[in-house]
Structure 1
Amino acid sequence: MKDASSKKKALAAVFLLCGVFSLLFSACGKQEKAQSGKAFDIYYLNREETKIVKEVFYIDSQEPESQIRQLISALEATPEDVSLKSPVGNGFRITSFQVEEGGQLDLDVDESYKKLPFTTEILVRAALVRTLSQAEGINHVLMTVGGQPLTDNIGVTVGPMTADAFIDNAGEEMNTYEGVKLKLYFANETGDGLVEVIKPVEYNSNISMEKLVVEYLVKGPDSEDAFPVINPATKILGVTVKDGICYVNVDENFMTQIYNVTADVVIYSIVNSLVELSNVNKVQIAVNGKTDIVFRETFNLVNLYERNLELIKTGENQK
C-alpha cells in the first residue's frame, strides 16, 4: 500500500510539473506573438490634453497600406493606459487615406474635426502625423477636412507635414503650441554658398526660438535644392541670448566635418539663421563650453560673428 501511495504521489507531481511548464510555454508563446513584427510608436493624448505620449505597437505586415490601416485602427482604439486618450476620440472620424507618389500620405477627416479647440487640434495633428509617417515609404502627411485643405486657426492652409514639424520638450507638459516660419540657411549644391529655406514649424512655446533654429540646422534641410551643413551627430549643449548676442554651445562632433562644404558656410549657416531672429545681432559658438578654438584653421571661436550677406546665393533661395 505504501508503494502504491508513493507512486500516486509521484505521478501527481509529474502531472503538476507538466501543467506548470505548459502554462509557462503558453505564456511565453503569447508574449512572443504579441511582440512579433516591427515596432511602431502610437501617439496618444494625455487626459489633460497638454501633451502627446507614445506607446509601442507591433505590426507584422511590410506592406505600406496594411501598416497604415493597422496604425489608424490603433489610433482609434481606446488606450489600455487610463491616463491616455485616443487622438481620434474627440468627435471626428478618419474617412479615407491614399498613398501618393513621393511618399505622401493623403489623409481625410470629417467636418467634425473643425470643432476641435486650437491647442487640442495641434496635438491631434501631431499624433496623427508622427504615427502615420512611420509607415513604410511615407515621408509626409497631407490632411484634408471633408475633402478641402486643412487650415490653421488663422485661416492659413496647412501643407504636407513631416514628423519633425512638431517639436516639444521631452517629458515636459506644454502651455501652447505655436506656428512659426523659420528662415534657415543651408549649403548650396557646390558647398561654397548659402541658400535660404523657409521651414514652417509647429512648436512648443516652452522651447526658445534660438534653440529651435539650431536644432533644425543640425537636422538638415528637407529641400532638394539645399544641402546639410552641420554634422548630424552634433549635440546642442545650450543656446542662450544676452544683450543681442546668441551663445551657442555644442559638443565636439561639431568639429568633425562630414559634408563637402567650406568653413565659412558652416559658421554663417548658424550665424545668418540666428540673426534672422529679431533679438539676435551677433553669434558666438563654443565647443564643450570652450571658445579658445580655431574652427578648421580659419575661424577663431572667441570672436563674435555678424551676418554675412555675401555668401547668400539669392538665385537659389527656397520659397
Structure 2
Amino acid sequence: MKKLLKTLFLAVLISSLFAGCSIKTFNKDKDESKYSFYYLNAAETTIKSEPYTPKEETKELMVKDLLQKIGDRQAPEGAVSLLPEKVSINSYDVQKDLLIIDFSKEYSDMGSAREVLTRAGILDTLIQIPDIQRIRFTVNGKELTDSRNKKIEDMTEDTFVEYNRKDSENYRYDTFTLYFTDKSGKKLVKETRNVYYRRNLPRERVVLEQLARGPLDEGYYPTIPSNSVAISVTTADRICYINMNSAFQEDALDVAEDISVYSIVNSILDSCEADRVQISIEGSTEGNYGSSMPLYNFYQKNEDLIMQEGE
C-alpha cells in the first residue's frame, strides 16, 4: 500500500512556485483509516484532513467519488473546500497510472498561494488511490503553467518536500522578491519566490538563505556564493544589519561587486520592513567588499541596476 500522504502547510515555494517555488509539506496524523480527504483551514493557510472510507477500494470508483467530493466543495463546518467557488472540474481522464484533471478557466484566477494549496490538497487526496501514481492538471484543455509560464510536470507523491504534520503550525508561507543577475553579471534580474519557513525565522534570514541557494529561473545566475551564511541579522529603526561569514567575500562569484551587494540590499528592502542595509563580514565593517563597496555604508535600494523589460 502506498505510504500515508503528505499534507501541505501554507509556504514558498515555493520552484516555485508553485512549480519552481520552495515548498514544504507535512505528514498527516495517523488514524485508523487508510485514506484521507483534504480541505483547508478557515484562514486558508494549512491543509487539513479527515478520514475517508470508500465504498469500494477500486481505482475507478475512488476517482469518481473523490473528484465528486472535490467538485461539490465538501469541507467540514468552519473549514474551506479545496476548490474556490467559481472553479469547477470540466472533465477527467484515467490513463493507466496517470489521472488527468481539466479545470475551468477560472482556475487561473487563483492567487499563487491559494493555487499551491489547492493543487497540493487535490494531489494528496487523489494520489492515494490504488494504481494512481501521477496526476496532471490542465486548465480549459491547456497545460497548467507556473508564475513564470513554465509547464508544471506530472505530480507524484514526492512532488512536495516532506515535513512532520505536528510541526505544521510552526511554519508559514510568504512571497519574497529576490534579485539575481543576468549572464553578464552586471545587471540585477527580479525573481518572485514563494517560500515555506519556520515562523520564528526572520524574513531577512530567509531572504539570505534563498539568495545563497541561487535562482530558479532559467537564464538567471547567482550573486553570492552558495556557502554564504548570515551569522546574524538584526533590523532596528528600519535599518537591517547583516553579518556575513567570510565565504561571502573570499568565495565571491564572478559578478560585478555592486551586483553582489545590491542583490542583497534590494532583496531585503523589497521583502522586509527596512529602508537601509549595512553589511559586515565576520563582525567587521572595516574596509570594503571587494575593492569598491565600503562595508560601513548604509545602502539603499538601487533601481538603476535592475534590468528593465526590453533590455
TM-score range, shorter chain: 0.5 to 0.7
Equivalent position SS for 1:237:
strand
- CA displacement, residues 70-120 of structure 1 (integer Å, 9 cap, x when unaligned): xxxxx89979xxxxx999985469x99xxxxxxxxxxxx85667748989x
Residue 114 of structure 2, aligned match among 156, 161, 170: 156
What corresponds to 2:226 in structure 1?
232
When normalised by structure 1's length, the TM-score is 0.51
The change in CA–CA distance for 1:193 and 1:203 in structure 2 (over 3 A counts) is: same
1:249 Cα deviation after fit? 1.5
What corresponds to 1:192 in structure 2?
186
What corresponds to 1:60 in structure 2?
none
The question of whether the paired residues in 2 share the 8 Å contact of 1:229 and 1:259 is answered with yes
The question of whether the paired residues in 2 share the 8 Å contact of 1:191 and 1:265 is answered with yes
When normalised by structure 2's length, the TM-score is 0.52
What corresponds to 2:302 in structure 1?
308
1:305 Cα deviation after fit? 0.8
Deviates more, 1:256-265 or 1:173-182: 173-182
Q: Which segments of 5 or more consecutive residues in structure 1 lack a partner in the other structure? A: 1-41, 52-74, 80-84, 97-108, 122-142
The change in CA–CA distance for 1:111 and 1:252 in structure 2 (over 3 A counts) is: farther
Deviates more, 1:210-219 or 1:272-281: 272-281
The change in CA–CA distance for 1:190 and 1:204 in structure 2 (over 3 A counts) is: same
1:176 Cα deviation after fit? 4.9
What corresponds to 1:265 in structure 2?
259
Structure with greater contact order relative to length (CA < 8 Å, sep ≥ 6): 2
The change in CA–CA distance for 1:173 and 1:281 in structure 2 (over 3 A counts) is: same
Pair member with larger Rg: 1
Q: CA RMSD in A?
A: 4.8
The change in CA–CA distance for 1:294 and 1:175 in structure 2 (over 3 A counts) is: same
Q: Letter of the 1:195 partner, please give it.
A: V
1:311 Cα deviation after fit? 0.5
Equivalent position SS for 1:156:
helix
Residue 216 of structure 1, aligned match among 207, 210, 223: 210
1:226 Cα deviation after fit? 1.5
The change in CA–CA distance for 1:278 and 1:288 in structure 2 (over 3 A counts) is: closer
1:184 Cα deviation after fit? 0.9
What corresponds to 1:248 in structure 2?
242
Which whole-Å CA distance do the structure 2 matches of 1:254 and 1:164 have between them? Answer: 32
Which whole-Å CA distance do the structure 2 matches of 1:147 and 1:214 have between them? Answer: 37
Which whole-Å CA distance do the structure 2 matches of 1:207 and 1:308 have between them? Answer: 26
Which whole-Å CA distance do the structure 2 matches of 1:177 and 1:271 have between them? Answer: 25
Which whole-Å CA distance do the structure 2 matches of 1:211 and 1:301 have between them? Answer: 19
1:233 Cα deviation after fit? 1.1
Which whole-Å CA distance do the structure 2 matches of 1:178 and 1:310 have between them? Answer: 33
| Length, aligned pairs only | 212
Identity percentage over the alignment? 24
- CA displacement, residues 232-289 of structure 1 (integer Å, 9 cap, x when unaligned): 0112212110001001112111013453210000000000111113521000111122
Equivalent position SS for 2:232:
strand
Q: Which has the higher helix share?
A: 1
The change in CA–CA distance for 1:268 and 1:77 in structure 2 (over 3 A counts) is: closer
Q: How does 1:94-133 map to 2 (within 5 A)?
A: 110=67, 115=75
Which whole-Å CA distance do the structure 1 matches of 2:79 and 2:195 have between them? Answer: 15
Deviates more, 1:215-224 or 1:148-157: 148-157
Equivalent position SS for 1:275:
helix
What corresponds to 2:199 in structure 1?
205
What corresponds to 1:181 in structure 2?
175
